[in-house]
A = this chain, B = another copy of it.
Amino acid sequence: MNDAAEGNGFNPAEEGVVSWIRGDGPHAEIILSTRIRLARNLENYPFREKSGSEDRERARGEIVAAVRPGDAGFERVRSVRLGELSERELNLLLELHLVSRELVNGRTSAALVLGDEGRLSLLVNEEDHVRIQTLLPGFQVEEAWRMAEEMDRVLRGRLRFAFHHDFGFLTSCPTNTGTGLRASVLIHLPALVLTREISKVLQGISQIGLTFRGLYGEGSDVIGNYFQISNQTTLGKTEIELVQHLAKITQQVVEYEENARQVLARDALDEIEDKVWRAYGILSCARAVSFDEMMNLISAVRLGVSMKLLPPVRVFDLNRLLLLTQSAHLESRAGRGLSVREAEVERASLVREILGGGERGTNGGGR
């Protein structure tokens, strides 16, 4: 894993590598994380479609060198070339939400420059030469934007980005041209799903310049009631307008979700209580569980904790469950490859450990 040449590698299996799982941001019970990315390209290199491997090598070197320890968000600068990583390490980075599938696919020339706890990072030679990415816990759209903007300002002092005075920042794919900005929140909407209000809400969102996607499991079903909401357009508005629009609408969606929870508490408390307790009971006791099933059960537990129907479970632990029970993290923990069934058994064991159900099941369980 160590990028020996640069002597600043990192281990993606360390839990502390990302801050978003801490669950200490605003509205962290409903919003897992906020992400901003700014797409930028170097003026004096061909864009991705037309670039050769030598171009990409040189672009990578120039970008990585432009980040210096002490830059805001980069107390330490750790960079890694994706081509040097094992499959499992690449999967760990994907599971950490630090890199995109596209970056992994273009791994030969791709690199990741990682700032403190993954709050700020650069994806190098993905679709664009560089994508400045911020990833913060909870609902922090403006903070994430300010951090990305600051890094953009720093890099613009050291690199020349392709910019057109009519269009704005030029990008490999025209849909990103202009601001090059994509802002998104990962939001948990179980009550809107249970009250069947979700499609109305999502439809409304897509009529006002935003877009959404669910989190998909092994099949094609949305799992765990998580949705990612992001801006659709990047052109014709200022960055701050785009960011504030997302923040405002997200705030509304949070209110819809909170209202839906109140409706559930008023009209279906029995059913909800039963649902969340069953999920809690299964997670505390199961000896094997698939990722998809677990996601749905954790969604119910997250709802139950938030509605104070269940014993308190820290949002940090709920987020750790989402992160650490993914396949590559389980394999990293086990120190070996795992069959699907073995992963289910390891996952259930870790879930019991994190929920504190392990001891309860064997000591306090019966009579």
CB within 8 Å of B: which residues of A?
A: 270-271, 273-274, 277-278, 280-288, 305, 310-314, 317, 341, 345, 348, 355-356, 360-362, 364-367
A317→B283 CA distance, assembly (Å): 24
Chain B neighbourhood of A341, CB < 8 A? 270
Given known pairs A360-B360, A366-B356, A367-B356, the reply for A277 and B285 (CB within 8 Å) is: yes
In angstroms, Cα B285 to Cα A283, docked, is 11
Which residue on chain B has the smallest CB distance to residue A362?
A: B311
CB < 8 Å neighbour of A281 from B284, B305, B317, B362:
B284
Smallest beta-carbon distance A359→chain B, Å:
9
A313-B367, A360-B365 known; A281 and B286 CB under 8 Å? Answer: yes
B287 A345 Cβ-Cβ under 8 A: no
Query: Contacts A270-B345, A277-B285 given; 13 further ones with Cβ under 8 A?
Result: A273-B287, A274-B288, A274-B348, A277-B286, A278-B286, A280-B285, A281-B281, A281-B282, A311-B366, A313-B366, A356-B367, A360-B364, A364-B364
Instruction: Among B270, B273, B317, B365, point to the contact of A367 (Cβ < 8 A).
Output: B317
Main secondary structure of the interface of A (DSSP, over half): helix
In the complex this chain forms, how many copies of it are found?
2
Q: Give Cα A198–Cα B280 distance, bound, in whole angstroms.
A: 33
Q: Which residues of B contact A356 (CB under 8 A)?
A: 364-367
Query: Which residues of the other chain, B, contact A287 by a CB distance below 8 angstroms?
Result: 270, 273-274, 277-278
| Interchain CB contact under 8 A, A367 and B311 | yes
Report the nearest B residue to A366, measured CB to CB.
B311
Give Cα distance in the complex from A360 to B364, angstroms: 7
A-B contact pairs, 21 of them (CB 8 A): A270-B341, A271-B288, A273-B287, A277-B285, A277-B287, A278-B282, A278-B286, A280-B285, A280-B361, A280-B365, A281-B283, A281-B286, A284-B285, A284-B365, A311-B365, A311-B366, A311-B367, A313-B367, A317-B367, A360-B360, A364-B364
CB neighbours (8 Å) of A361 from chain B are 277, 280, 311
